[in-house]
């Protein structure tokens, strides 16, 4: 029998499959169509200090092998997430979740991390450093190793939970950013977030997205994500959660061979709401077919 269990910073997972933040909400809708307790964990929708309505519409554009979104971190704010969303999720999902935190200043990251530190069903805090730094000219925190280290250190000071830094791929050297986070105390790395993309409506001669550009995700970015997971795993000693275009059990195995201890499924949830249980169902069969007896044993086995 194939063992598909894995572990993230002491958090034991029945399997490595985790729906990615922003593609699974707070689990309520998906719980109506299947038992979400089959999942390894859930990365809940990104949370900011204050409620956000998000960007102007249209904010979704379809692509040949993926999609572009510019939702703009729409969420009810940290207070409501803690008082309403996470307690409701705990009623239907009986495992620790990953809380995704976003901010536009170091102070906002710290505020949210400190607030969510005492929530019992949060097992890991995932810090999204792809947000624009309002005190740094609008450049994303994740594009500057020093800013990533600053956010990491500040968050680690106010929480006892494992902190994973979610990295943007829109940088020159992803490994340098990851090492900076590790040196500042990060317990793990999540990557990749969406790539920057754009579509144009040739009839109106205007960008499809109101914000002009947005985050490109889906199967087309999988080779880039795989390469970056490989590079980061080689550069750091902390666990890596791999994501970016994963849509089948074989993709999960590739990601883990490249260095991921677990994976997140993003855009595929929006195409097929049953994709996560399908992958979990297929994993043992695929492993057995290619001679894998323990899934965690293949992590980072590519030289």
Helix, strand, or coil here: 31?
helix
pLDDT at 287 over 70: yes
Q: What is the mean pLDDT of residues 231-257?
A: 98
pLDDT at 139 over 80: no
Cite the active site residues. Answer: 131
Determine the Cα–Cα distance for residues 38 and 14; give it in Å rounded to an integer: 8
Min mean pLDDT across 50-59, 74-83, 110-119, 285-294 is at 50-59
pLDDT at 95 over 80: yes
pLDDT at 281 over 90: yes
Q: What is the mean pLDDT of residues 48-61?
A: 93
- Could you tell me which of 30, 5, 24 has the C-alpha nearest to residue 16? 5
> Which helix (DSSP H) or strand (DSSP E) does residue 289 occupy?
helix 275-289
Determine the Cα–Cα distance for residues 18 and 12; give it in Å rounded to an integer: 13
Strand 240-243, strand 262-265: pairing: parallel
Q: How far is CA 219 from the centre of its chain?
A: 15
pLDDT at 297 over 60: yes
Whether the Cβ atoms of residue 129 and residue 142 lie closer than 8 Å to each other: yes
Q: What is the pTM of this model?
A: 0.96
pLDDT at 82 over 80: yes
pLDDT at 76 over 60: yes
pLDDT in tens, 193-219: 999 999 999 999 999 999 999 999 999
pLDDT at 254 over 90: yes
pLDDT at 138 over 60: no
Q: What is the mean pLDDT of residues 127-136?
A: 72
> Which bin fits 193, alpha (ψ -120 to 50), beta or left (φ > 0)?
beta
Q: What is the mean pLDDT of residues 181-197?
A: 96
Q: What is the mean pLDDT of residues 50-68?
A: 93
**Complete domains list, the chain, with CATH:** 6-298 (3.20.20.70)
Q: What is the mean pLDDT of residues 18-29?
A: 96
Q: What is the mean pLDDT of residues 78-91?
A: 98
């Amino acid at each position: 029998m194939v063992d598909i269990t894995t572990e993230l910073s002491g958090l034991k997972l029945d399997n490595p499959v985790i729906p990615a933040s922003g593609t699974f909400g707070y689990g309520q809708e998906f719980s109506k169509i299947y038992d979400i307790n089959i999942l390894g964990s859930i990365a809940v929708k990104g949370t900011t200090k204050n409620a956000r309505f998000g960007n102007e519409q249209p904010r979704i554009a379809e692509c040949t092998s993926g999609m572009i979104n510019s939702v703009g971190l729409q969420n009810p704010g940290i207070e409501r997430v803690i008082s309403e969303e996470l307690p409701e999720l705990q009623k239907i999902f009986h495992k620790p979740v990953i809380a995704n935190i976003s901010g536009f200043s170091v102070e906002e990251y710290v505020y949210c991390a400190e607030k969510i530190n005492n929530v019992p069903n949060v097992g890991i805090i995932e810090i999204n450093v792809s947000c624009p730094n309002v005190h740094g000219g609008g450049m994303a925190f994740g594009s500057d190793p020093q800013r990533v280290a600053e956010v990491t250190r500040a968050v680690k000071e106010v929480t006892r939970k494992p902190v994973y830094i979610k990295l943007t791929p829109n940088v020159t050297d992803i490994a340098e950013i990851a090492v900076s986070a590790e040196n500042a105390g990060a317990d793990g790395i999540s990557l990749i977030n969406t790539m920057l993309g754009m579509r144009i409506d040739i009839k109106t001669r205007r960008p499809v997205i109101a914000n002009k550009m947005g985050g490109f995700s889906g199967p087309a970015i999988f080779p880039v994500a795989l390469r970056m997971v490989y590079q980061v795993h080689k550069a750091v000693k902390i666990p890596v959660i791999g994501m970016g275009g994963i849509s089948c059990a074989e993709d999960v195995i590739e990601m883990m061979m490249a260095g991921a201890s677990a994976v997140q499924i993003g855009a595929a949830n929006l195409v097929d709401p049953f994709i996560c249980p399908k992958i979990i169902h297929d994993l043992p069969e695929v492993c057995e077919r290619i001679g894998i007896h323990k899934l965690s044993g293949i992590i980072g086995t590519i030289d």
